[in-house]
Amino acid sequence: MSRRQAPRSLRARLGAALVTGVVGCLLLTGCGPDAATAAHTAGTPVSDLGTVVVDGPDGVQPTITLPTPFSVPVTRRLVLRTGPGQPVKPGQRVTIHYVGFNGVDGHKFGTDYDKRASSFVLTPANNLKGIVDGLAGVQVGSRVLLAIPPVDAYGLTGRPQAKIGPTDTLLIVVDILDAKDVLARATGTPVPARPGLPAVTLDTTGRPKITLPATNPGPNLVVQPLILGAGPKVAKGDQITVQYSGVIWPGGRQFDSSWSAPTPASFAVGDGRLIAGWDEGLVGQTVGSQLLLVVPPDKGYGAAGRPSAGIKGTDTLVFVVDILDSVSPGAVS
């Protein structure tokens, strides 16, 4: 349903929005004529996380003494301080502060300590594999040092705008502030649908089946709650996590469904990245809700349709959307 790729995640925040300049010796303390400099001069990569010194109190961007060049073949982690919370699990919404450095020369490529903390759903679809592997199993409240090779980061393309090359190892210090479970399906109070709308039935997992009525669709956007969730309201610009299925009216052919993917979908909503029917229909709804959206062409893909999905310019789209999570960009919750 997106007009273009919509997810915001730590992948994007590490690689683009939070890119900063090369860090100087006030922060990168390993700048003197010591063993780190000797290793860099000799060109022999260091791979032992124990040689990296991280200093700083809670809530403050840490300083780091980093021997360069630093390189690892697989993602490695070193828990610097063990927190009192439960271990982080993949699929949870995780809230962190981080600062990242390039292992080749030690330059800082990103941080959010000078902003709000980063909050994202921890899945391989939304994040670097090294972030998922590195944080899973670490207790909330911990500070952890990650070393992530290219294969678990940006691969052979690197991230040129962040001065990350195709062979560069990333070193990231993460303070894990929170981790919360994300709903697997809509949950709340059932709401009877208005007569004449498509019928929705659910299997045992919550996956919907949409049956169209023997009538033509109307010209207006329809937003029909089927389950009213008790979670927070979705605000304009929020990153939402959803399960959804979409069919074409007339005909009833399914053209898209997140239920077939390994993980739910995540999108920014309300800022023009999605079709208007989603932006207008989802903002203001509550987490836990299930919605039936009947989207006319002018609120969908317009007169051009979407030929790659078999959608004509005259087709109405019908979606069932489970809102599993919603978080404001950069917010801690």
Higher model confidence: residue 2 or residue 260?
Answer: 260
Element (H, E) at 265: strand 265-268
Minimum mean pLDDT range among 40-44, 290-294, 308-312: 40-44
What predicted TM-score, i.e. pTM, was given to this entire model? Answer: 0.73
Q: Which amino acid is at 293?
A: L
Task: Output the pLDDT for position 267.
Answer: 87
Q: What is the mean pLDDT of residues 183-205?
A: 97
Domain ranges of the chain: 10-180, 189-327
- What mean pLDDT comes out for the span 53-73? 93
Do 281 and 290 contact (CB within 8 A), yes or no?
Answer: no
Taking the C-alpha atoms of residue 309 and residue 255, their distance in angstroms, rounded to an integer, is 6
Mean pLDDT of 167-195: 96
Half-sphere exposure of 316 (CA within 13 A, CB side): 21
Q: Note whether 140 and 83 are within 8 A (CB).
A: yes
State the CB neighbour count (10 A cutoff) for residue 288: 21
Token readout for 221 is 């956007």
pLDDT tens column, 237-270 = 998 999 999 999 999 999 999 999 888 998 899 9
Q: Does residue 20 carry a pLDDT above 60?
A: no
Do 286 and 238 contact (CB within 8 A), yes or no?
no
**123 or 27, which is more confident:** 123
Mean per-residue pLDDT for 173-183? 95
pLDDT (mean) for 231-236: 96
What average pLDDT does the segment 265-287 reach?
Answer: 96
CA–CA dist 211, 193 (Å, integer) = 13
Backbone φ and ψ of 194, nearest 5° = -70, 150
User: How is domain 10-180 classified at the CATH fold level?
Assistant: Chitinase A; domain 3 (3.10.50)
In this structure, CATH architecture of domain 189-327: Roll (3.10)
CB 216 within 8 A of CB 318: no
Domains 10-180 and 189-327 share a fold: yes
Query: Averaged over 3-10, what is the pLDDT?
Result: 41
Q: In DSSP terms, which residues pair with 190 in a beta bridge?
A: 227
* pLDDT attached to residue 206: 96
Average pLDDT of the segment spanning 121-144: 93
